[in-house]
Amino acid sequence: MATELQNLSSYDPHTVPSGEGKRIGIVVSEWNYTVTGSLLNGAIHTLLKFGVREEDIVVEHVPGSFELTYGARLLIEKAAVDSVIILGCVIQGETPHFTFVCDSVTQGCTELNLQLDVPVVFGLLTTLTLDQAKARSGGRHGNKGDEAAITALKMVALRSRYQ
């Protein structure tokens, strides 16, 4: 398991580009908000730590994970953001709903990244249990929100090098 090998909140701060002057959107699912709220807090804390101003962090809530990609597209088209982070949590249940939602969000993020010129960062936890989700949203495996924020800053820097 990948997170057994590396904590989601571990990174070399010297490799993280500055977020000064950058505008970052975050779309967060209200479903499983105990988990997604922790992801959001981690992402915001990390963005602020690397120089993104609070007023340049645009946060929008959507009902569930399925709606994350639509929210991301709206922020890209209407909020003039340099990157969008999607944050959600889908926990395996007894029906195939888990697979459909996870596949849809994954494909939607890929399509946004290929169609639009703004990086969309995948911060969707797809776990088998609530305990696994908690371990990845500020627990023993770190916080996927931290990792998503670092990824957003790195992708904005990559995009800037080729403009």
Active site residues: 97
- Find where tokens 């807090």 sit: 41
CA angle at residue 118 from 13 to 73, to 5 degrees? Answer: 120
Q: Residues 156, 76: contact at Cβ < 8 Å?
A: no
Q: Residues 153, 44: contact at Cβ < 8 Å?
A: no
DSSP state of 84: E
Please report, for residues 82, 127, 145, the alpha-carbon distance to residue 117 in angstroms, rounded to integers and kept in the order given.
9, 30, 22
Q: Residues 28, 40: contact at Cβ < 8 Å?
A: yes
